[in-house]
Structure 1
Amino acid sequence: MNSTFERAIAAFEPAHWPLAVGFSGGADSTALLAACAARWPGQVVAFHVHHGLQAAADGFEQHCRSMCERLGVPLVVHRVDARHATGESPEDAARRARYAAFAEMARADEARGAIRSVVLGHHADDQVETLLLALSRGAGLPGLAAMPAHAQRNGLDIYRPLLAVAGAEVREWLAGRELPWIEDPTNEDARYTRNRIRSVLLPAVEQAFPQFRSTFARSVGHAAQAQQLLNELAAQDLESVGSPPRIATLQALSRARQANVLRHWLMRSHGCGPSAAQLEQLLDQVRACTTRGHRIHLKVGAGFVERRGDLLHWYNVAPSPKTSL
């Protein structure tokens, strides 16, 4: 057991069984599925999401069926409509559809018992790409924390045990076992920012900073730790200001803590992530709210934040102006 990939698999232990592997048929998920099936025979199932976005998708599914038969792993396939709306990132739309499909497959696969653990093949290069994308968008700590090794989503435990393993090492392990994989043709499409980072930026970064995967990983860890502290502070502040928040209690906090607790409230209570500009506008209105007649009505996320008496409320649809004070 000499490779970083093998050590990562040996160190990984999910909290619940059986274990589902997100299986696209690509190199990373193929290596992960093969390694998990060898370590835990009879306790692993493959989840394949048919995105329906390209003509090759049917071929991907057939390849996955063949590979699962070879490995002796049950395969569950879920078809989704992952087309993105106007102005929406295609990658974000496909990612949301994929996680929703995992949850659907986990609930539907009653024959093997309730599946609560899903493992994904994201590796160190994917993590660096995610960090660089976040930096390019001016992201805050949640974006700079990139992908967690363990998270909970849609009632599932999501694991990424390969975040310290370089993509090239994953492929070396796979090639050494003569296991075939498929190459998604969209991975070469320069229209996608992530692909440009992979093909142009990462080789230059590696030439300038050969240890960038480990050093970037430390920065990601620092950002994740800092975000955890902010989450804990936000939870404490939310107990104080209430849900929905009391404006006067908010005003007693610093602007930074107001931003932190409002972001936490919107996400926890409404699944709403405000943009930086929207949050700044809301903070300005909270500061200016010093009279009973001051009106707050701001677009935030997919809805609106409004003042109702001494409290802030968030709505999916804007109420009539006659009832907004």
Structure 2
Amino acid sequence: MLTPKIPEIHKTHPIPQEAFDWYDEYAHGLMDRRTFMKKLSTLVVAGVSMTMLTSALIPNYALAEQVSFNDPDIKAEYLSFPSPEGNGEGRGYLATPVGLTEKAPVVLVIHENRGLNPYIKDVARRLAKAGFIAFAPDILHTLGGYPGNDEEGKQMQSSMDKVKVEKDFIAAALFIKSHPSGNGKLGSVGFCFGGYIVNMLAATVPDKLAASVSFYGTPAAKELRANIKGPLMIQLAELDKRVNATWPEYEQDLKAHNIDYVMHMYPKMNHGFHNDSTARYDAENAELAWKRSIDFFNKHLA
């Protein structure tokens, strides 16, 4: 496993929290690019240029490879799957351990709101390296797939029918659960939008999931939450005001329905702290959150 290289600006010139907050709003469609850039310009000071700020905030996926696709311990390929109630056909990135001698647990990996970018594919490879069969669908498949940049990917994904998008992920879960090398137990992990999809799946197909890990994702619709059976792991960042505002009510419903869950709050962390391609990344907390996730899957999927 490689040690990720992260942007260096925050080490010599701390980035104001406002920049992270504005980026979160921009990345989630609450602020347009022009407004985002205009606000960032107010933070330019001596020694810190606009280029330095944007390079720290906007993902650089050349940095986000901890497990190479050439790693001899894994095999990576693409698989298509049927989604008749969604967009007709789905496609995803499958990473499997090499030399399996027995059935392995399966984990569905769910991307953010911009398609299957290199960071999410690397997450799938990390899972395969840890002994899991990992499958990461690209919701943009019917539009040509992840376009190679987040801005266009975000626009493409926002143009899609949300109901069909959710049906595609349900179809992907059912498809990969029956993988011939799988042990019949399915887990799911997702980040941001993917964290929401994890929560949605836990509430929509609870009998199909044996463990779910949601990184900074909003909850499923309130009327569905009683369906959740768990076990569910919620990973939240203390500075993520947008997502954290939804947690108290979600937790109240989880408790009311006696759902098996655990929540971890990571102090002083921003939304996206696990993503090692931007300055939001924090190695110590990302590694802790990942270890907790792997331990959780080992406990419930083995």
- TM-score, length of structure 2 as denominator length: 0.31
Query: Which structure shows the higher strand fraction?
Result: 2
Point out which structure has higher relative CO (alpha carbons under 8 A, 6+ apart): 2
Higher gyration radius (CA) = 1
Query: Which structure shows the higher helix fraction?
Result: 1
